[in-house]
């Protein structure tokens, strides 16, 4: 840390010198323009940005299949708007993996191809999908997936179950968008200012989005079990439906708390959700008692369903805790 003494020039202008080493490293000299951002009691100074698009180059010669897909995802989340993937010769298998990666991202397309390279670009206007909108959409999709997964189970509807499994890709794509936006705010105050959302709030939205992604994963798990199970006994089906209703309320209360404008409302909703989470274990045990009379294979599968619903309630509780922290007074 360095300190600088503030001086007043011209009777009304406050000035402070820049650290010489920082200026040299960032190409700052006399006449250079810097950007200044303020957030509460913090002032950030960055070199002027010449372009809004960040370009990155990645050698993919040794990457194929899942490794290549993850590499593209990493570059995207890392904030690159244009990603140039290079190799001595890009194989058909690699091109297939790149296309698969692009399909897993929002607003990204292949814009150029050659024998030794593929260029993908993010064409999405950042104003079209803010972090708040992305998390809101994740909430709608994840909670509806969980509801439909339980419906598929209790009604023995494989078509609904398969539809839930397919919708998981939508949640994953949105989570990558949230991660990209969040990491951008960590790197640059410019990104946070453009969002009109504080970096602390971005952290809260990102951590909550992670919980929603896990809820969606458990909805997929329940759906896969639903396709394997025969008709569930009526008493068990009623118990699971009632348990889901409680879990659904926890998720809705928690997300309402996260998005609440008033601190008191967020606090009340958050505490209500956490109190309800404590009751889930007792509810689960009551259904466990009913399962004892079923066949072992069915008991095991339905036990996994109960575990997924219980974990989803816990994820709702995690969101509620985040909402309480977000609503708490800040120093």
* 2 within domain boundaries: no
Q: Using an 8 Å Cβ cutoff, are 100 and 71 in contact?
A: no
Give me the pLDDT at residue 303, please: 93
> How many C-beta neighbours within 10 Å does residue 42 have?
9
Give me the pLDDT at residue 85, please: 94
Q: Are residues 313 and 206 part of one domain?
A: yes
Mapped onto helix, strand or coil, the DSSP state of residue 13 is strand
**Torsion angle defined by CA atoms of residues 226, 228, 230 and 233, in that order, rounded to the nearest 10 degrees:** -50
Q: Are residues 73 and 163 part of one domain?
A: no
Tell me: pLDDT of 127 over 60.
Answer: no
CA-based torsion, 187, 192, 198, 201: positive or negative: negative
Model confidence at 184, pLDDT cuts 50, 70, 90, reads confident
> How many C-beta neighbours within 10 Å does residue 97 have?
23
Tell me: pLDDT of 83 over 70.
Answer: yes
- Residue 4: name the closest of 23, 14, 18 by CA: 18
* pLDDT tens digits along 49-68: 665 678 899 999 999 899 99
Give me the pLDDT at residue 191, please: 67
Strands (E), 40-93: 42-47, 55-59, 82-86
Q: Are residues 156 and 85 part of one domain?
A: no
Give me the pLDDT at residue 49, please: 65
Q: Are residues 321 and 204 part of one domain?
A: yes
Q: Are residues 177 and 256 part of one domain?
A: yes
Q: Are residues 267 and 193 part of one domain?
A: yes
* 88 within domain boundaries: yes
CA distances to 54, 110, 165 from 86, rounded to whole Å, are: 17, 13, 33
Average pLDDT score over residue span 273-286:
93
* pLDDT tens digits along 280-325: 989 999 998 888 878 888 889 999 999 999 999 999 999 999 999 9
More confident residue, 68 or 3: 68
Q: Are residues 160 and 112 part of one domain?
A: no
Q: Are residues 289 and 243 part of one domain?
A: yes
* pLDDT tens digits along 139-181: 999 999 999 999 999 999 999 999 999 999 999 999 999 999 9
* pLDDT tens digits along 4-56: 787 887 777 878 777 878 777 777 777 777 777 676 667 777 776 665 678 89
Q: Are residues 232 and 296 part of one domain?
A: yes
Asked which of 122, 138, 173 is the last residue of a domain, the reply is 122
Q: Are residues 157 and 42 part of one domain?
A: no
Model confidence at 221, pLDDT cuts 50, 70, 90, reads very high
Q: Give percent of the chain with pLDDT exceeding 90.
A: 63
* 1 within domain boundaries: no
Tell me: pLDDT of 128 over 70.
Answer: no
Q: Are residues 185 and 81 part of one domain?
A: no
Mapped onto helix, strand or coil, the DSSP state of residue 112 is strand
Domains held by the chain: number: 3
Range of the domain at 105: 55-122
CA distances to 165, 167, 184, 206, 210 from 323, rounded to whole Å, are: 29, 26, 22, 12, 14
CA distance 78 to 38: 24
**Residues contacting 68, CB < 8 A, separation 6+:** 60, 94, 97, 98, 101
* 27 within domain boundaries: yes
More confident residue, 304 or 191: 304
CATH number at residue 246: 1.20.58.220
CA distance 202 to 47: 23
CATH number at residue 82: 3.30.110
Q: Using an 8 Å Cβ cutoff, are 225 and 299 in contact?
A: no
* 66 within domain boundaries: yes
Give me the pLDDT at residue 11, please: 72
- Residue 62: name the closest of 33, 94, 34, 39 by CA: 94
CA distances to 123, 257, 278 from 275, rounded to whole Å, are: 44, 14, 6
Average pLDDT, the chain: 89
Q: Are residues 136 and 190 part of one domain?
A: yes
């Amino acid at each position: 840390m360095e300190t600088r003494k503030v001086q007043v020039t011209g009777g009304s202008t406050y000035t402070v010198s820049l650290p010489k080493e920082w200026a040299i490293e960032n190409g700052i000299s006399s006449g250079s323009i810097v950007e200044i951002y303020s957030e509460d009691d913090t002032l950030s100074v960055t070199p002027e940005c010449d372009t809004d698009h960040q370009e990155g180059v990645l050698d993919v010669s040794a990457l194929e299949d899942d490794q290549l897909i993850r590499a593209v995802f990493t570059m995207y989340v890392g904030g690159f708007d244009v990603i140039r993937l290079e190799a001595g010769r890009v194989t058909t298998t690699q091109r297939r993996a790149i296309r698969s990666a692009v399909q897993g991202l929002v607003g990204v397309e292949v814009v150029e191809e050659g024998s030794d390279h593929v260029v993908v670009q993010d064409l999405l206007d950042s104003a079209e999908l803010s972090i708040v909108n992305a998390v809101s959409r994740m909430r709608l999709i994840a909670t509806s997936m969980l509801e439909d997964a339980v419906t598929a189970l209790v009604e023995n509807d494989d078509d609904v179950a398969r539809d839930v499994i397919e919708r998981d890709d939508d949640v994953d794509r949105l989570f990558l968008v949230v991660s990209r936006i969040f990491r951008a705010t960590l790197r640059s105050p410019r990104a946070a200012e453009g969002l009109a959302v504080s970096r602390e709030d971005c952290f809260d939205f990102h951590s909550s989005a992670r919980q929603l992604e896990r809820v969606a994963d458990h909805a997929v798990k329940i759906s896969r079990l639903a396709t394997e199970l025969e008709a569930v006994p009526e008493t068990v089906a009623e118990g699971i439906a009632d348990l889901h209703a409680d879990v659904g309320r926890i998720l809705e209360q928690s997300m309402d708390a996260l998005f609440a404008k008033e601190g008191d409302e967020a606090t009340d909703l958050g505490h209500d959700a956490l109190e309800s989470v404590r009751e889930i274990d007792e509810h689960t045990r009551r259904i466990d008692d009913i399962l004892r009379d079923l066949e072992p294979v069915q008991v095991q599968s339905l036990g996994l369903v109960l575990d997924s619903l219980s974990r989803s309630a816990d994820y709702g509780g995690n969101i509620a805790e985040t909402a309480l922290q977000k609503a708490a007074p800040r120093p």
